[in-house]
Amino acid sequence: MRVALESTIVAHGLPWPDNLAVARELEATVRAHGAEPATIAVIDGAVKVGLSDAELERLARDGRIFTKAGATDLAVHVVRGGCAATTVSATCAIAARAGIRVFATGGIGGVHRGDADDVSHDLVALAQTPIAVISAGAKAILDLPRTLERLETLGVLVIGYRTHELPAFYSRSSGLALEHRVDEPLELAQIAAEHWRLGGGGILVCNPIPAAAELDVGDAIEQALAHSTARGKAITPFLLGELAAITGGKSIVANRALAVNNAAVGAALAVALTACRA
């Protein structure tokens, strides 16, 4: 019972050495809850499902040489012997091929503000892949109403874990109601197993940031967006860096708390899925 963990949060989401501390904490959290962590990355052309501590440190220390890679980019990096940190879409694809059914991340990509046609491939990959993604909702820098609508259009099952609302990453509430709520890992596992038996694809499990770590970043996001000239894959790293600067590092603390919380729920789900198959 393995839990997939992405590498983009380590290479591009947090600064050194916070990123290494978080990477190790995520893996330790998964183990503490009875599952095995599998941090995913491409290293020197090899797809890695689970990293050694030395590889994890290389990913964190030398993040600038790890290209941010989505699912469609993987073959290029493998053939060219490159290094790539996997986004949600790439992690979903690799994890599913490795037989992993649970993936814990921070927040998924989605529809960008101001451009309804600028949509992360994360949503398409999630719709097509039979995996449960544990997330604190979509990243707060996105257009959350349109992201939720797009998930519905693509046929992604969205479940609130102990919440009736889509979490807004740094905030527990977005004001966007969810149709389905689950409060215990076993019922979540039962629903997931039946969903896949019926031929369903991905499941987005929305797990709010812990209340003690919640952060109001509304004004900071507006400031960051005003400064942004980035597009495509460069948008998220740029805006996260701006938020960290504007909030004096508070966004990094919140990001760490929600990621660790998601890892704990992901491990609990993985263990419960094993019980369902027994």
Burial of residue 82, with CB atoms counted within 10 A of its CB: 0-12 exposed, 13-18 middle, 19 or more buried:
middle
Q: At CB < 8 A and 24+ separation, what contacts does 43-47 make?
A: 43/83, 44/81, 44/82, 44/83, 45/77, 45/78, 45/79, 45/80, 45/81, 45/82, 46/78, 47/74, 47/78, 47/94
If you count them, how many residues does the chain have?
278
Residues annotated catalytic, as ranges = 6, 139
User: What does the CA dihedral 244, 249, 251, 257 come to, rounded to 10 degrees?
Assistant: 140
The CA–CA distances, whole Å, from 150 to 70, 120, 124 equal 19, 11, 9
Q: What whole-number distance in Å separates Cα of residue 106 and Cα of residue 252?
A: 12
Q: Are 137 and 156 in contact (CB under 8 A)?
A: no
Inter-helix orientation angle 88-97/121-128, to 10°: 20
Q: Are 122 and 95 in contact (CB under 8 A)?
A: no
